[in-house]
DNA sequence: TTGTAGGCGTTATCAC
DNA sequence: GTGATAACGCCTACAA
C-alpha cells in the first residue's frame, strides 16, 4: 500500500496525498477528509526509506556510549531517549567499548546511517590530555553531522559539549574531608578520561590549598567493581589512609566492603565519598555520601541544544553544569 | 558523492560500481581494484536510504523495553546490541514505560521505521493472565515483522519467546528456605507481569508441597526501590515473617535495610532471597543470595534465533532457559 | 564481464 | 487547490 494506491482510491493525485500526509495548508478541508479516510481505512504508513531518500533524513539521532550496562550511561541513554522522542526523533544505539580503535570504528559505522546528529556519552570520548586529545576522529565526524558530547569537552567546528564541573565538585568534596580532620585521602579511580582527570585536579587543588602534600602512593587505579576494589585494598595492608575519594560509586562501595573486612568504623576511622549518586549509593551500609553530577540535566540540555542547532539557531558550544554533593552517612562533615 | 560520480571517475557504469560495492563475483579483479581505489579516495559511502528503499531493509532491529535505566534491562540491551552488531545489524531503542497504552504506541511507532525484526525486553509485554493477555497488539505487529520476546511468552504466528524458567527457580529457592526451617515467607514483588506471576506460582507451589498455608497477608506489592521497601516494611510492624522472597534485588536490598533498622540478624532472624543477580546484590551487607536468570544467555539465544528466522530457517517458537541460584550470605541453606 | 533502463515511494517544483 | 513530473541514489533484470 503506497502513495499511488491511496491516490487512486481517493481519486486524487499523489501530490495531493503527499500534501495531506504532511498536513500542508493548501489542500481543501474536503479533500483532506476524503484522503484521510482512505488512509485510515487501509492503514497506510508513508515509507520512511523513500522519505529519507528525498529529505536526506530519517529523524534519527545516533547515540554512542562505551557500555550501556553501566548504570550511569544507562540512565543517560534513558534520559536522552525520552527527550529525543518528545521531539519526534528516534535513537540508534551503539556501544563502542573503551578502546580507541573501537570508538573510532563505532563513529565511522554510525555515520554511515546518515543520522541527523551524534551524541557521545561519557568522558572517554574527550581524550586524555589537553594537547593530544586523540579526538580528531570526532572533529572529522563533525564535518558530516553535528556532534554532542555529554560530560566531556572537545573544541572544534560543529561539536558541542555539555559537562559537569567535576573539578569544582571534587575540590569541595575533598575540602570537606580535610576540614573535618582527614590527612591522608586516597584518590580512587578507574580511568584517565577527561572527567576523571578533572576530578584528580580538584582533589590535588584541595590538598594543596589546605597545605597537605600530594602523594603518588595515595592515587590508586582500579576496576569499577565492588569486590575488585575491596580485595585490592585488602592486599595493600601497608597503605595508610583515613579517607577515600572515589570517582565512581562502585569503587566507593568496594571501599565500604574493605572497611567492614578490616573492622574499620565508617566514618570515624574511614571517611568515603563516591561519585554519580547511583542506586548503589543507597544499597551499602552505611549509605554513601556521593557527588550527583546531575545526569538528567546534562542530557536534557544536550537535546534541547541539539534541536536548536538542527533548526539553524546559534548555540553555545560549551555548557558547564554544577554538581551537587549528596551527604549521607560515610562522611562526618 | 554518489554512485554516478564514482562510476564516472572510474570510467565504468553505475551497475559495475554497485557490483563492486556488494562484492559481486562477476566483476573482473582489475575493475574491482580500480573502482575500489576511486571509492577510497573519495571516501564514498553508499546511501543507506536509497539502498533501504530498494531492498526494503536497512538492517536495523527495533528494541523496546519499558526502561533502560533499570539494571536488568540495561544489561539485556547491552548484550543484544553486541550480538546484533556481530551480525551487522543496528539497533533502534525505544523505552516504552509500563503502561499498556504507551507500550502499544511504542510498537506502532517503531514499526513505521520498517525494522527487520522487533525485540521486546521484559515480561511486561507478555501480559497478565493466560486468557486475556492483552498482547493482541503484539500479534498484530508480528504480521508485519518477526517479534522476539525476552523473558515472556506469547503464542502466535511469527512471534518467538525465550524465557527463563522462573517458576522452577522460585520453587527451589523457596523450598530451600522452608527446608532450613522458615515458616512465614513473605513474597515481595513490584509487578503482575508474566514472569512475576510465574515466580508467584513457584512460591505457592513450594509452600503447598511442604504443607505450609498460602496466606494473602504474606504477599506484598511494592515499588522496586530500596528505601521504599524498607519503609513500607517498617510501617507494618504487625506483619510477622522470618524470610523474604523478592522478585528483584532492589526490593531484597530494601529488606536488608529493614532488618538493619529493626536490629534483626540476617540470616538467623530473617532469610532473604533476591532476583536477577545484579550489581546491587553484592553491595549490601550481608550480600544477597539471589537468582541469576542468565540474561546473557537469553539475549544471545534470541539474536541467534532471529538470524535464522531472517534467513528463512525454521526455529522453535519457544525456548525455556534454566535459572541458577547464587548462594551468598542472606540465607542459611 | 559490462552497460542500459526501470523500479523502489517519497517530496518538491512547476504549471494550470 | 490540484496534477504532472523530475529528482533522490541504489539494485537488478535484461541485453550486449
> DSSP readout, B162-201?
EEE-HHHHHHHHHHHHHHTT---EEEEES--SHHHHHHHH
pLDDT at res. A18: 96
Per-position b or e across B159-170, b if 16+ CB within 10 A of its CB: bbbbbbbbbbbb
pLDDT at res. B196: 94
pLDDT in tens, A278-325: 999 999 999 999 999 999 999 999 999 999 999 999 999 999 999 999
Judged by phi (left if over 0) then psi (alpha if -120 to 50, else beta), residue B14 lies in: alpha
Give the Cα-Cα-Cα angle B238, B239, B243 (nearest 5 degrees).
Answer: 145
pLDDT in tens, B18-55: 999 999 998 999 999 999 999 999 999 999 999 999 99
Alpha carbon distance A249, A278 (integer Å): 7
Alpha carbon distance B123, B73 (integer Å): 11
pLDDT in tens, B271-287: 999 999 999 999 999 99
| Contact by Cβ (8 Å): B73, B121 | yes
3-state secondary structure of A164: strand
In whole numbers, what is the pLDDT of chain B averaged over residues? 96
Beta bridge partners of A95: A65
| Contact by Cβ (8 Å): B109, B62 | no
B291: phi then psi, degrees, rounded to nearest 5: -95, 125
What does the pLDDT average to over B92-101? 96
pLDDT at res. A287: 96
Long-range contact pairs involving A6-13 (C-beta distance under 8 Å, separation at least 24)? A6/A35, A6/A38, A6/A39, A6/A42, A6/A44, A9/A38, A9/A42, A10/A34, A10/A35, A10/A37, A10/A38
- Cross-chain residue pair B78–A67, CB shorter than 8 Å: yes
pLDDT at res. A310: 96
Q: What percentage of chain B's residues is helix, strand, coil (to nearest 5)? A: 45, 15, 40
Closest to B328 measured CA to CA, from B273, B286, B289, B279: B289
Alpha carbon distance B50, B58 (integer Å): 10
Return the higher-pLDDT residue of B116 and B131.
B116
In whole numbers, what is the pLDDT of chain A averaged over residues? 96
Closest to B141 measured CA to CA, from B92, B101, B106: B106
Q: Which residue is it, cell 544467555?
A: B297
Chain A CB contacts of B250 under 8 Å are 279
Alpha carbon distance B221, A194 (integer Å): 43
Identity of the residue in A53, A94, A283 whose CB atom sits nearest the CB atom of B283? A283
Closest to B300 measured CA to CA, from B317, B314, B319: B319
Identity of the residue in A74, A113, A285 whose CB atom sits nearest the CB atom of B90? A113
Q: Which three cell numbers mark A83?
A: 527527550
Q: Given a cut of 90, is residue A132 above it in pLDDT?
A: no
Query: A181 pLDDT band (50/70/90 cuts)?
Result: very high
pLDDT at res. A129: 62
Q: Which three cell numbers mark B280?
A: 546491587
pLDDT at res. B131: 66
pLDDT at res. A68: 97
Residues packed against strand D, CB within 7 Å: A 11-16, 19, 25-28, 30-31, 50, 53-54, 56; B 2-4, 14-15, 18-19, 21-22, 44, 46-47, 50-51, 53-55
Using CA atoms, how far residue B3 sits from A28, B47, B58, B237, in Å, is 41, 9, 18, 74
pLDDT at res. B129: 62
Q: What percentage of chain A's residues is helix, strand, coil (to nearest 5)? A: 45, 15, 40
- Cross-chain residue pair B50–A53, CB shorter than 8 Å: yes
Query: B133 pLDDT band (50/70/90 cuts)?
Result: confident
Query: B126 pLDDT band (50/70/90 cuts)?
Result: confident
Using CA atoms, how far residue B157 sits from A333, B130, B143, B154, B199, in Å, is 62, 17, 8, 10, 27
Using CA atoms, how far residue A184 sits from A230, A265, A325, B222, in Å, is 18, 16, 21, 43
Distance C8 C1' – B120 CA (angstroms): 30
Query: B263 pLDDT band (50/70/90 cuts)?
Result: very high
Q: Which three cell numbers mark A144?
A: 558530516
Torsion of CA B68, B69, B71, B72, to 10 degrees: -30
pLDDT in tens, B57-89: 999 999 999 999 999 999 999 999 999 999 999
Q: Residues of A numbered 21-80 whose beta carbons fall under 8 angstroms of chain B's beta carbons: which are they?
A: 45, 47-50, 52-53, 56, 58, 60, 63, 67-71, 74-75, 77-78
Identity of the residue in B50, B77, B227 whose CB atom sits nearest the CB atom of A68? B77
pLDDT at res. A133: 79
B299 in contact with A at a CB cutoff of 8 Å? no
Contacting residues for B62 by C-beta, under 8 A, at least 6 apart = B91, B92, B94, B110, B111, B113, B115, B117, B118, B119, B145
Give a three-class secondary structure readout of A167-232: HHHHHHHHHHHHHCCCCCEEEEECCCCHHHHHHHHHHHHHHHHCCCCCCHHHEEECCCCHHHHHHH
Q: Which residue is it, cell 580511568?
A: A191
pLDDT in tens, B145-190: 999 999 999 999 999 999 999 999 999 999 999 999 999 999 999 9
Judged by phi (left if over 0) then psi (alpha if -120 to 50, else beta), residue A286 lies in: beta
What does the pLDDT average to over A85-111? 97
End-to-end CA distance of chain A: 68
| Contact by Cβ (8 Å): A111, A145 | yes
Closest to B249 measured CA to CA, from A283, A274, A67: A283
Q: Given a cut of 80, is residue A131 above it in pLDDT?
A: no
pLDDT at res. B151: 94
Alpha carbon distance B66, A198 (integer Å): 35
B98: phi then psi, degrees, rounded to nearest 5: -105, -10
Q: Given a cut of 70, is residue A128 above it in pLDDT?
A: no
Contacting residues for B131 by C-beta, under 8 A, at least 6 apart = none
A2 in contact with B at a CB cutoff of 8 Å? no
What does the pLDDT average to over B191-215? 96
What does the pLDDT average to over B199-217? 98
pLDDT in tens, A234-256: 999 999 999 999 999 999 999 99
Q: Given a cut of 80, is residue A130 above it in pLDDT?
A: no
Alpha carbon distance A211, A233 (integer Å): 26
Q: Residues of B numbered 70-99 whose beta carbons fall under 8 angstroms of chain A's beta carbons: which are they?
A: 70-71, 74-75, 77-79, 81-82, 85, 90-95
pLDDT at res. A241: 98
Strands in A60-65's sheet, in edge-to-edge order, are A318-321, A159-164, A147-150, A117-121, A60-65, A90-95, B90-95, B60-65, B117-121, B147-150, B159-164, B318-321
Burial class (CB in 10 A: 0-12, 13-18, 19+), B85: middle
Q: Is the dihedral of CA B271, B237, B228, B98 positive or negative?
A: positive
- Cross-chain residue pair A77–B93, CB shorter than 8 Å: yes
Query: Does pTM top 0.85 for this prediction?
Result: yes
B103 in contact with A at a CB cutoff of 8 Å? no
Chain centre distance of CA A303: 12
| Contact by Cβ (8 Å): B269, B331 | no
Amino acid at each position: 500500500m503506497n502513495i499511488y494506491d491511496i491516490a487512486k482510491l481517493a481519486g486524487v493525485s499523489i501530490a495531493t496525498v503527499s500534501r495531506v500526509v504532511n498536513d500542508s495548508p493548501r489542500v481543501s478541508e474536503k479533500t483532506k477528509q476524503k484522503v484521510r479516510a482512505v488512509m485510515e481505512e487501509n492503514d497506510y504508513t508513508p515509507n520512511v526509506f523513500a522519505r529519507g531518500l528525498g529529505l536526506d533524513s530519517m529523524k534519527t539521532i545516533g547515540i554512542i556510549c562505551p557500555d550501556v550496562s553501566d548504570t550511569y550511561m544507562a540512565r543517560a541513554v534513558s534520559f536522552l531517549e525520552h527527550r529525543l522522542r518528545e521531539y519526534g526523533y528516534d535513537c540508534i544505539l551503539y556501544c563502542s567499548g573503551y578502546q580507541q580503535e573501537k570508538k573510532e570504528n563505532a563513529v565511522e559505522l554510525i555515520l554511515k546511517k546518515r543520522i541527523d546528529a551524534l551524541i557521545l556519552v561519557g568522558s572517554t570520548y574527550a581524550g586524555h590530555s589537553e594537547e593530544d586529545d586523540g579526538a580528531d576522529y570526532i572533529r572529522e565526524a563533525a564535518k558530516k553531522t553535528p556532534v554532542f558530547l555529554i560530560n566531556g569537552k572537545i573544541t572544534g567546528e560543529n561539536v558541542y559539549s555539555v559537562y559537569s564541573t567535576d573539578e569544582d565538585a571534587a575540590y569541595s568534596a575533598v575540602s570537606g574531608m580535610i576540614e573535618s580532620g582527614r590527612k591522608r585521602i586516597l584518590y580512587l579511580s578507574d580511568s584517565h578520561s577527561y572527567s576523571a582527570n578533572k576530578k584528580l585536579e580538584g582533589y590535588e587543588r584541595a590538598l594543596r590549598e589546605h597545605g597537605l602534600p600530594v602523594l603518588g602512593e595515595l592515587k590508586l587505579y582500579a576496576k569499577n567493581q565492588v569486590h575488585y576494589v575491596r580485595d585490592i585494598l585488602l592486599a595493600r595492608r601497608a597503605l595508610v589512609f583515613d579517607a577515600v575519594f572515589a570517582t565512581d560509586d562502585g569503587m566507593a562501595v568496594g571501599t565500604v566492603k574493605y572497611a567492614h573486612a578490616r573492622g574499620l568504623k565508617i566514618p570515624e576511622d574511614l571517611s568515603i565519598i563516591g561519585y554519580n549518586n547511583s542506586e548503589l549509593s543507597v544499597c551499602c551500609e552505611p549509605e554513601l555520601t556521593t557527588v550527583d553530577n546531575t545526569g538528567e540535566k546534562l542530557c536534557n540540555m544536550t537535546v534541547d541544544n541539539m534541536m536548536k542547532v538542527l533548526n539553524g539557531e546559534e548555540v553555545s558550544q560549551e555548557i558547564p553544569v554544577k554538581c551537587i554533593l549528596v551527604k549521607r552517612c560515610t562522611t562526618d562533615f
